[in-house]
Amino acid sequence: MVDCFPPGSDPAEYVRRLEAETDAQRRRLEGLDAEDLKRVLRDQSEPTAARQIAMEQLFLRFRKSADFGAMQVDWLADLMEDPDPPIADLAIKHCPLREEHLRARVRALLDSPRDRTRADAAHALARVKDETILPRLLEWLEGPSEPMRNLAIGGLQILNTPEARSTLEAAYQQGGRDEKDRTVLAMALLRLGDTRGLPLLEGVARRAKGPWSVNAAASIYDHEPLRGLELLLHLVDQGDDEAKRCVVVRVWIWSRPRIAHPFGPEGIGEARAWIEERMRSA
Q: Report the distance separating Cα 166 and Cα 236, nearest Å.
A: 36
- Indicate if the pLDDT at residue 7 is higher than 90: no
Q: Is residue 269 part of a domain?
A: yes
Q: Report the distance separating Cα 86 and Cα 250, nearest Å.
A: 21
Residue (of 102, 153, 111, 103) closest to 131 by Cα position? 103
Q: Is residue 202 part of a domain?
A: yes
Q: Quick check: bond before 147 cis, omega within 30? A: no
Query: pLDDT per residue over 103-128, tens digit each?
Result: 999 999 999 999 999 999 999 999 99
Tell me the residue range of the domain where 209 lies: 197-282
Q: Is residue 281 part of a domain?
A: yes
Q: Is residue 201 part of a domain?
A: yes
Residue 42 CA to its chain's centroid (Å): 24
Q: Is residue 116 part of a domain?
A: no
Q: Is residue 163 part of a domain?
A: no
Average pLDDT over residues 50-63: 96
Q: Report the distance separating Cα 187 and Cα 99, nearest Å.
A: 32
Query: pLDDT per residue over 144-183, tens digit each?
Result: 999 999 999 999 999 999 999 999 999 999 999 999 999 9
pTM for this model (two decimals): 0.89
Residue type at position 179:
E
Q: Is residue 262 part of a domain?
A: yes
User: What is the number of structural domains in the chain?
Assistant: 1
Query: pLDDT per residue over 198-256, tens digit each?
Result: 999 999 999 999 999 999 999 999 999 999 999 999 999 999 999 999 999 999 999 99
Q: Is residue 68 part of a domain?
A: no
Burial class (CB in 10 A: 0-12, 13-18, 19+), 113: exposed
pLDDT bucket at 12, cuts 50 / 70 / 90: low
**On the CB side of 21, how many CA atoms lie within 13 Å of its CA?**
13
